[in-house]
């Protein structure tokens, strides 16, 4: 797979190369001169061709965030890299290079057409995120394992596949194997998969096809469950109350509480006490959770209503915004009150724990303890400072967890409100600027008409 470029000095994608390419491929004539005078805006470029430049390393493309088409064919690229920020890419050509491993494509989730033709690839891998892939060319590589091609079955939109020129194509059942495993494929190696090949595939691989259909069905069900779970979690996140619909906060309070295990051995401490505390804490968390979901649905309706109204009257929108802010402030205060109840509940629990600890210490001092402590815990544990410090440390950890969760919820609520208000202000500012621009254009037009009238009168 050598080429004439092997004798030319390798190059790296740098600023000079990019600017030259953008200028060459951008607007020409007067439009091109204006673009050069104003400066090249890489983030606005949608297509870029960097072929036949003896490029060894892909670099400096992070600013081209609007790129939908990128040509890097006919270079000497050895590694796919530097494409992470090009998340809008739909078409990518890396053919005629020296790439050995498929990698660095994880963020290109919009990619539909990918060419890796004429490289040194021996394994099809690392493409899981390319779910929109429609056309894939892997011809003239080093692919030997026909079973490895089955990896591509995960791409449900794949309709065109080129594998010509790979060692695996020499397998006697190559074409039939592909037809059996890819029933939705239309073109294979630049030719339409004919009816005869499909019928032969169905006959030869009937058992395999039935198994694949069962696997596909199970996979679809699993994906559906996963999708529903993700949608539900996202709903909870949008409402800022994820993991508040259960014992998650309570469990996190005790996860970092190293003193809780020791305090559980205090005479008078019971499992009932802990379970009651847990039950009450979970109930309060559920209260916040349900309140958050309710407010989220109300918030969505109000925001939707707000933006619909903005098309009718700015004055009405401003009133809606005021109501939305007031409603949000009310919700925020209600959430704060509920978390205050969580703190009160923890304080009451701590006071009860202190009473138990003091009583246990008094009994220990009078040698009146009836319950045996675990071996090795009695003497150091019944030191007054040790016991009370343990109670205090446990209490501090619990309060910290509650405060942290409340701060997180309130911070995200405030952030959402800030972003919302800014978007409203920006939209209003944009509308005003557009209106002002229209007025200026109209004034200029009227001035021009007046000037023409004055000129005619003078003549």
Find all residues with CB under 8 Å of 395, minimum gap 6, and list them. 346, 347, 350, 353
Q: Which range, 33-37, 154-158, 222-226, 237-241, is most confident? A: 154-158
- Using alpha carbons, list the distances in angstroms from residue 179 to 187, 192, 206, 212, 296: 10, 11, 12, 13, 49
Rounded CA-CA distance 296/292 in Å is: 6
Find all residues with CB under 8 Å of 190, minimum gap 6, and list them. 162, 164
Q: Which residue, 170, 353, 384, 163, is CA-closest to 276?
A: 353
Rounded CA-CA distance 143/148 in Å is: 8
Is the entire prediction scored with pTM above 0.95? no
* For residues 409-436, average pLDDT: 75
Q: Look at 129 and 343; give whichever has higher pLDDT.
A: 129
pLDDT at 451: 58
pLDDT at 4: 44
pLDDT at 28: 61
pLDDT at 133: 97
pLDDT at 453: 46
Rounded CA-CA distance 125/133 in Å is: 14
Whether 391 and 353 have beta carbons less than 8 Å apart is answered as: yes
* For residues 409-426, average pLDDT: 79
Sheet with 160-162, edge to edge strand ranges:
47-49, 69-71, 91-93, 113-115, 135-137, 160-162, 187-188, 191-192
Q: Is the pLDDT of residue 371 over 60?
A: no
Least confident piece of the model among 4-8, 78-82, 123-127, 252-256? 4-8
pLDDT at 405: 86
Q: Which range, 107-116, 234-243, 385-394, 429-438, is most confident? A: 107-116
The secondary element (H helix, E strand) that includes residue 114 is strand 113-115
pLDDT at 186: 94
Q: Is the pLDDT of residue 422 over 50?
A: yes
Structural tokens at position 387: 């016991």
Q: Look at 334 and 241; give whichever has higher pLDDT.
A: 241
Burial 305-333 (b: 16+ CB within 10 A, else e): ebeebbeeeeeebeebbeebeeebeebbe
* For residues 410-426, average pLDDT: 79
Q: Is the pLDDT of residue 442 over 70?
A: no
Chain segment 52-111, per-residue pLDDT in tens: 999 999 999 999 999 999 999 999 999 999 999 999 999 999 999 999 999 999 999 999
* For residues 337-364, average pLDDT: 86
User: Band of the pLDDT at 332, cuts 50, 70, 90?
Assistant: low
Structural tokens at position 392: 């205090």
Q: Is the pLDDT of residue 370 over 80?
A: no
Alpha helices in 122-266 (DSSP H): 174-181, 195-204, 206-238, 248-255, 260-263
Find all residues with CB under 8 Å of 110, minimum gap 6, and list them. 87, 88, 89, 90, 132
pLDDT at 19: 87
Environment class of 110 (CB within 10 Å of its CB; exposed 0-12, middle 13-18, buried 19+): middle
pLDDT at 324: 67
pLDDT at 423: 80
Q: Is the pLDDT of residue 374 over 60?
A: no
Q: Is the pLDDT of residue 34 over 60?
A: no
Chain segment 212-259, per-residue pLDDT in tens: 778 878 887 888 888 898 888 898 888 888 888 989 888 888 888 888
* Average pLDDT, rounded, for the chain: 83
pLDDT at 218: 84
Tell me the Cα Rg of the chain.
34
Q: Which range, 115-124, 219-228, 288-297, 302-311, is most confident? A: 115-124
Q: Look at 111 and 360; give whichever has higher pLDDT.
A: 111
SS3 sequence of 122-163? CCCCCCCCCCCCCEEECCCCCCCCHHHHHHHHHCCCCCEEEC
Rounded CA-CA distance 130/107 in Å is: 8
Rounded CA-CA distance 149/400 in Å is: 53
Rounded CA-CA distance 22/61 in Å is: 12
* For residues 363-384, average pLDDT: 62
Chain segment 135-150, per-residue pLDDT in tens: 999 999 999 999 999 9
439 SS3 class = helix
Least confident piece of the model among 4-8, 39-43, 201-205, 220-224? 4-8
HSE-up (13 A, CA, CB side) for residue 415: 9
């Amino acid at each position: 797979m050598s080429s004439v470029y092997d004798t030319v000095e390798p190059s790296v994608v740098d600023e000079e190369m990019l600017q030259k390419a953008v200028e060459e491929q951008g607007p020409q004539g007067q439009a091109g001169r204006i673009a050069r005078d104003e400066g090249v805006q890489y983030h606005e470029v949608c297509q870029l061709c960097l072929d036949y430049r003896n490029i060894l390393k892909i670099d400096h493309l992070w600013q081209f965030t609007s790129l939908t088409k990128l040509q890097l064919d006919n270079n000497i690229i050895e590694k796919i890299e530097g494409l992470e920020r090009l998340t809008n890419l739909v078409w990518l050509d890396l053919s005629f290079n020296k790439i050995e491993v498929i990698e660095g494509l994880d963020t290109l989730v919009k990619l539909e057409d990918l060419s890796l033709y004429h490289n040194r690839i021996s394994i099809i891998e690392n493409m899981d995120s390319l779910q929109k892939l429609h056309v894939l060319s892997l011809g003239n590589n080093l692919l030997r394992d026909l079973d490895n091609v089955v990896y591509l079955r995960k791409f449900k939109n794949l309709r065109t596949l080129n594998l010509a020129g790979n060692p695996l194509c020499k397998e006697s059942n190559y074409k039939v194997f592909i037809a059996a495993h890819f029933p939705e494929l239309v073109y294979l190696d630049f030719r339409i998969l004919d009816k005869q090949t499909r019928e032969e595939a169905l006959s030869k691989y009937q058992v395999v096809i039935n198994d694949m259909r069962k696997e596909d069905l199970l996979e679809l069900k699993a994906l559906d469950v996963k999708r529903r779970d993700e949608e539900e979690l996202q709903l909870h996140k949008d409402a800022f109350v994820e993991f508040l619909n259960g014992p998650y906060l309570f469990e996190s309070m005790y996860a970092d509480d190293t003193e809780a295990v020791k305090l559980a051995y205090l005479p008078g401490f019971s499992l009932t006490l802990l379970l009651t505390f847990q039950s009450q804490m979970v109930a309060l968390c559920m209260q916040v959770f349900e309140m958050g979901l309710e407010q989220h649905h109300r918030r969505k309706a109000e925001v939707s209503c707000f933006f619909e109204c903005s098309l009718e009257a700015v004055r009405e929108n401003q009133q809606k915004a005021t109501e939305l802010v007031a409603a949000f402030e009310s919700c925020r205060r209600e959430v704060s009150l509920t978390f205050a109840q969580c703190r009160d509940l923890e304080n009451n629990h701590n006071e009860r724990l202190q009473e138990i600890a003091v009583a246990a210490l008094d009994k220990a001092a009078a040698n009146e303890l009836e319950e045996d402590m675990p071996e090795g815990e009695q003497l150091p544990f019944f030191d007054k400072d040790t016991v009370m410090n343990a109670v205090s440390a446990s209490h501090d950890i619990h309060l910290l967890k509650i405060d942290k969760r409340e701060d997180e919820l309130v911070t995200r609520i405030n952030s959402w409100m800030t972003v919302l208000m800014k978007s409203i202000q920006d939209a209003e500012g944009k509308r005003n600027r557009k209106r002002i621009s229209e007025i200026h254009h109209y004034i200029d037009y009227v001035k021009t008409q007046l000037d023409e009238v004055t000129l005619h009168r003078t003549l």
